[in-house]
Amino acid sequence: MYPEALMRAPSAQEITMPIQRLDEDDAEAAAVTLCDAFFDDPLLQIVAPDEARRRRWGSWFMSLPLQYGLRWGEVWATDDTSAVAVWIPPGSGEMGFGRMLQVGLAKMPFRLGVTGSRRFIQSLSKTEPFHKSVDGPHWYLVAVGARSECQGHGLGSALVEVGTSRADEAGVPCYLETGTQSNIDFYTKRGFEIVGQTEYLGHTLTGMVRQPHEPPSP
């Protein structure tokens, strides 16, 4: 079992920030953080192209992966929830439609409209083959983001390392999806490689895999 110890996030300004497992009490604040981080990301633009709707329902939408992670995975965050990551470890079971309904997917048509709901399901189906290409147990990075004023301080890197370091220890890969070139560059520097790309509504959706690295020698 991995201890829920504090980790430190390096930055160019030598700022450190404790990182710890998130619990339900901080879920609302974490959803606001992810909404801020993803506000202009294709993920939110696809389901809610209207900015006013994104502002009204964006935090609720980002609460879906958070609630999923709290139930069947792990949610890690800085102690002030200025940066958050949702990881699904191996052995957590299939991330199926039934589980998504349990965390609130059924409310989506009433909040993001029928079109937004359909687009969300279609975007998932577009990237599903990339995820299925990963053989065997693996860590799945569902979402990671920091509030806009906290970006560039190494917090995202530290939250990514929460999963990648444990995947390396277990000798298993990590998988994620992204919709921006800047994110592709970010993850490529951290050992991820593109396994597939597809176009949807003018956005390029990308699946990436990181094969396990040899842990550093003690």
Question: What is the DSSP code string of 151-170?
Answer: TTSSHHHHHHHHHHHHHHHH
Domain enclosing residue 142, as ranges: 19-172
pLDDT of residue 12: 35
Q: Which of 130, 36, 120 is nearest to 83 (CA)?
A: 36
Run of H or E residues at 75: strand 74-78
CATH number for the domain that contains residue 47? 3.40.630.30
> Does residue 5 lie within any of the structural domains?
no
Number of domains observed in the structure of the chain: 1
Range of lowest pLDDT (108-112, 164-168, 182-186): 108-112
> Does residue 188 lie within any of the structural domains?
no
pLDDT of residue 3: 25
> Does residue 183 lie within any of the structural domains?
no
Q: What six digits make up the tokens of 218?
A: 């003690």
**pLDDT > 90 in the chain, percent:** 69
> Does residue 210 lie within any of the structural domains?
no
